Structure 1
Amino acid sequence: MQSYWGDLRDRLHLTEMVAQIARVEAVACDSVHEAAWLERNLLEADMPPWNRTPGGAETTIYILVDTRPRTAGVRTSHVARFDGVVGLGPYLGGTRARQAISGLQRAFPLSYTRDRLTGAERDIAARRGIGPQLREPLAAAVISALDGTNTGAACEVLTAGRDRAAAALNFELAARIHDELAALEWVTSMQRVTIEGGGDQDICGWADGLAVTFSIRGGRLNRWDQHECSRSAVAQASAATPPEWAAFAQRNAELAAALIRV
């Protein structure tokens, strides 16, 4: 057995869990990051006895983009306090968030636009032609990479850097940049099951005589129910499903109907 985070084959106590499986239900998510968040939400809402930690051990983290002259840069935060900065997230997995920040610093070195730099930082900034006049453009590039409006620009810079490192036989650097690219893909992939400050809503899909209803509470999708019924029985719930969730609901109703026939 494996999880999103590692190999679980040494957890012999999980054999008891396997023996209690009555049926398999699945949810098709839009990304691995979204699937990991859904798992986290489910375990926080109702932790089975064989799980070690409510919600799991992974870190919930935010990425802050700071454009203030003395503290400009990109950093992580474990709390959703965004006074004077632009905050994005939440993301699941502190290591991936920090790797993504490392890649963004490599592509768009916002921290080198601070008013106060060390001697070494000033030398690097001068060689790269970076100064306070680039603070806002670099911050905008970081934000557009993280919010998905222009992630490709960061990926292009990092891919070129990785390829140059590999061509120069600097494989350690190439591997580090490769990991930064993977982390950037993780934090920018579609993820809607955990929304900071989100509200409550139910979404419903129906296929082949089976309805699947997902519950979102406080911005977190943390429960679903499936049952056999006619299409007309859930017509109102389906009509109330927000348009942006319609494809998700329908896809998972079709998946549930297929699994129940197995």
Structure 2
Amino acid sequence: MRPIPADPGVYRFRDARGRALYVGRAVNLKRRVASYWGDLRDRRHLAAMVRKVSRVEVVACDSEHEAAWLERNILERSMPPWNRVAGGAESPIYLELTTSLAAPGLRTTFRVAAGTQGFGPYLGGTKARLAVSALHRLYPLPYTGTRLTGAERDMARKLAVGPQHHGDMLAAVSAVLHREASAVAAARAALAQLRDAASADLAFERAQRLHLELAALEWICAAQQVTVTQPEDLVFYGWAEETLVRFEVVAGRLCDWQVRSCTAQAAKEKVALTPPHWVRFAQRNAALAAALRKE
């Protein structure tokens, strides 16, 4: 298992007949997979499964959020016998950005309304709500609206914001949600500064809340392409060292991968059809699959 990286991703155990036994996700693939051959602790019910494992397959992802989506997609399509829950514990959710001058703001929703900007999907309602709280803390967009209650107008005065700030606040929130690197870095730094200041003032509950908001912001801004809103269906391939990996996307969700032997000549035409935005992902994981087959 030496080729397995210490990256987020999804792993799959197969038996000697090639049947999938279990699919899981990990923040650190190397550590998580190795743990099955150590002290299982509260997972002792998996000991019988571990004895049947003949092959380990992994897909490395760009973030923990991407790994969570990939695991969910795979398990919703097919449940190996040792998995208990289809799709994981988090629920899919979106963020809806209302841009109107009357009542601007950001909120969580299960369905984006017409006339608003939708972002996502994300996994985890709690994380999404904490991310909204973080962005409103940094950029109090709702208080730049023109339809405020008396209490809201008082708060707007305290925050020194008004309709004249609407455009700037809207642009700042939108930039973070579009994962613009400089905007995400600025938001991350501002939240960290607020958290550290709260901690220095011994306001530990506030510091903990800011810590959770920062983690939630990282979650929604993390790179992930295995689940998108466009209903795209496609198959794409990666190849390395006589190993071909076939990936399948259904309705915008990457939901399966298969590994097999293949010559360079036979793989050439298939790999050439891989869309540009999937090439790095496919090649990275084909190289990993090839290394694991040598183990």
Q: Same fold (TM over 0.5)?
A: yes
Structure 1 residue runs without a partner (length 5+): none
Shift, 1:200, TM fit: 1.7
Q: How far is 1:199 from its partner?
A: 0.9
The code of the aligned residue for 1:36 comes to: A
User: Is it true that 1:34 corresponds to 2:71 in the alignment?
Assistant: no
What is the one-letter code of the residue matched to 1:203?
Answer: F
Paired residues of 1:201 and 1:216 also in contact (CA < 8 A):
yes
> Runs ≥4 in structure 1, deviation > 4 angstroms?
2-5
- Give the secondary-structure state (helix, strand or coil) at the position aligned to 1:57: coil
Cα offset, 1:195, TM superposition: 0.7
Kindly provide the CA deviation profile for residues 222-253 of structure 1, in whole angstroms up to 9, marking residues without a partner as x.
11111111111110111111122111111111
Within the candidate set 88, 106, 116, 2:147 is matched to 116
Structure-1 residue corresponding to 2:32 = none
**What is the CA–CA distance in structure 2 between the aligned matches of 1:182 and 1:249, rounded to whole Å?**
28
> Which residue of 97, 107, 122 maps to 2:138?
107
- In structure 2, the CA distance between the partners of 1:4 and 1:104, relative to structure 1 (3 Å rule), is farther
Task: Give the secondary-structure state (helix, strand or coil) at the position aligned to 2:161.
Answer: coil
- Contact 2:127–2:219 (8 Å) recurs in 1: yes
Q: Of the two structures, which has the highest relative contact order with CA contacts closer than 8 Å and spacing of 6 or more? A: 1
Q: Alpha carbon RMSD of aligned pairs, Å?
A: 2.0
For 1:38, what is the secondary structure of its paired residue?
Answer: helix
Is the Cα contact below 8 Å between 1:199 and 1:219 reproduced in 2? yes
Using the TM superposition, name which of 123-132 and 101-110 deviates more: 123-132
CA distance in structure 1 between the partners assigned to 2:103 and 2:192 by the alignment: 28
**Distance of 2:235 and 2:81 partners within structure 1:** 27
- Tell me the equivalent position of 1:196: 229
**What residue ranges of structure 2 are gaps of 5+ in the alignment?**
1-23, 28-39
Q: Does 1:260 align with 2:284?
A: no
Q: TM-score by structure 2 length?
A: 0.81
Secondary structure, counterpart of 1:193 in structure 2: coil
Q: Give the counterpart letter for 1:165 in structure 2.
A: A
Cα distance in 2 for partners of 1:4, 1:26 equals 10
Match of 2:3 in 1: none
Aligned residues: 258
CA contact (8 A) 1:47 1:55 kept: no
Q: Which has the higher strand share?
A: 2
Partner of 2:254: 221
- The answer on whether the counterparts of 1:145 and 1:153 sit within 8 Å (CA) in structure 2 is no
Alpha carbons of structure 1 residues 244 and 118: separation in structure 2 relative to 1, 3 Å? same
| Structure 1 residues 204 and 47: alpha-carbon distance in aligned structure 2, compared to 1, 3 A threshold | same
1:55 shift after superposition: 1.6
In structure 1, what is the Cα distance between the partners aligned to 2:48 and 2:147?
58
Aligned to 1:242: 275
Cα shift at 1:58: 1.3
- Residue 154 in structure 1 maps to residue 199 in structure 2: no
CA distance in 1, matches of 2:49, 2:173: 44
Separation (CA, whole Å) in 2 of partners of 1:69 and 1:102: 20
Q: Matched residues in 2 for 1:29 and 1:143: separation?
A: 25
